[in-house]
């Protein structure tokens, strides 16, 4: 999905698309968890996804100490029955992080969406967006770092072949103030 398609969606529909993309890409939680991921994916960005996902697994009836032990978790770890029921077999490799990683990936999508809401022109200067790549080990993201793209064309989700678990690339508004000076 590019920026043009994302901005054509109502914000809550984009939130749902971001939750679904993260769930499908990571495979750590079941698709039935899209409602809770959507709910935790808040536009107000008041706290870190890690804090939100932790609060979620702390809330409600917890697995017994014996059940936690069987999963390789410490007895004082928090994992509610509801959160546990949403974790896939792949996610069980690290059950305390399954929701958190999905939420983090969806949050990076939301950040990108929020950044491109800026006006595309400032005082006659076109605003583009600079790729800000955090994981330069990724063969797809690395060459993009420092390049610019229009908001309409900016990918909202990870590009094909991207190896970044949370697709943690971002955009920064960029204006070439010297573009029209001769």
CA-to-CA distance for 109 and 23, rounded, in angstroms?
12
Is 156 a binder of Zn ion (CB under 5 A)?
A: no
CB of 133 to Zn ion, least distance (A): 7
For residue 129, what are the contacts with CB-CB under 8 A and spacing of at least 6?
A: 115, 116, 148, 149, 150, 151, 154, 171, 172, 173, 174
When the beta carbons of 17 and 164 are compared against Zn ion, the nearer one is: 164
For residue 123, what are the contacts with CB-CB under 8 A and spacing of at least 6?
A: none
**What H or E segment, with its residue span, contains residue 100?**
helix 98-115
Q: What angle do CA 86, 94, 13 make, to 5 degrees?
A: 45
Is 102 a binder of Zn ion (CB under 5 A)?
A: no
CB of 172 to Zn ion, least distance (A): 17
Is 26 a binder of Zn ion (CB under 5 A)?
A: no
CA-to-CA distance for 145 and 154, rounded, in angstroms?
13
Is 6 a binder of Zn ion (CB under 5 A)?
A: no
How many binding residues for Zn ion (CB under 5 A)?
5
When the beta carbons of 22 and 96 are compared against Zn ion, the nearer one is: 22
* Nearest to 57, CA basis, from 26, 16, 111, 98: 98
Out of 33, 164, 166, 168, point to the residue binding Zn ion (CB under 5 A): 164
* Nearest to 23, CA basis, from 99, 130, 83: 99
Stretch that binds Zn ion, among 9-17, 101-109, 116-124, 135-143 (CB under 5 A): 135-143
Stretch that binds Zn ion, among 23-31, 72-80, 95-103, 132-140 (CB under 5 A): 132-140
Out of 19, 23, 37, 162, point to the residue binding Zn ion (CB under 5 A): 162
CB of 136 to Zn ion, least distance (A): 9
């Amino acid at each position: 999905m590019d920026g043009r398609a994302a901005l054509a969606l109502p914000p809550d529909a984009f939130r749902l698309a971001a939750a679904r993309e993260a769930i499908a890409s990571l495979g750590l939680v079941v698709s039935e968890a899209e409602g809770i991921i959507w709910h935790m994916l808040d536009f107000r960005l008041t706290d870190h996804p890690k804090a939100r996902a932790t609060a979620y697994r702390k809330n409600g009836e917890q697995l017994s100490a014996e059940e936690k032990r069987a999963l390789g978790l410490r007895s004082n770890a928090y994992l509610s029955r509801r959160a546990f029921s949403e974790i896939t077999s792949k996610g069980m490799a690290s059950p305390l992080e399954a929701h958190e990683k999905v939420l983090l990936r969806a949050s990076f999508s939301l950040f990108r969406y929020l950044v491109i809401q800026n006006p595309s022109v400032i005082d006659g200067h076109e605003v583009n967006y600079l790729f800000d790549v955090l994981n330069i080990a990724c063969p797809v993201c690395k060459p993009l770092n420092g390049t610019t793209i229009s908001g309409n064309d900016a990918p909202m989700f990870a590009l094909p072949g991207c190896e970044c678990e949370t697709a943690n690339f971002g955009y920064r508004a960029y204006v070439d103030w010297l573009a029209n000076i001769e």
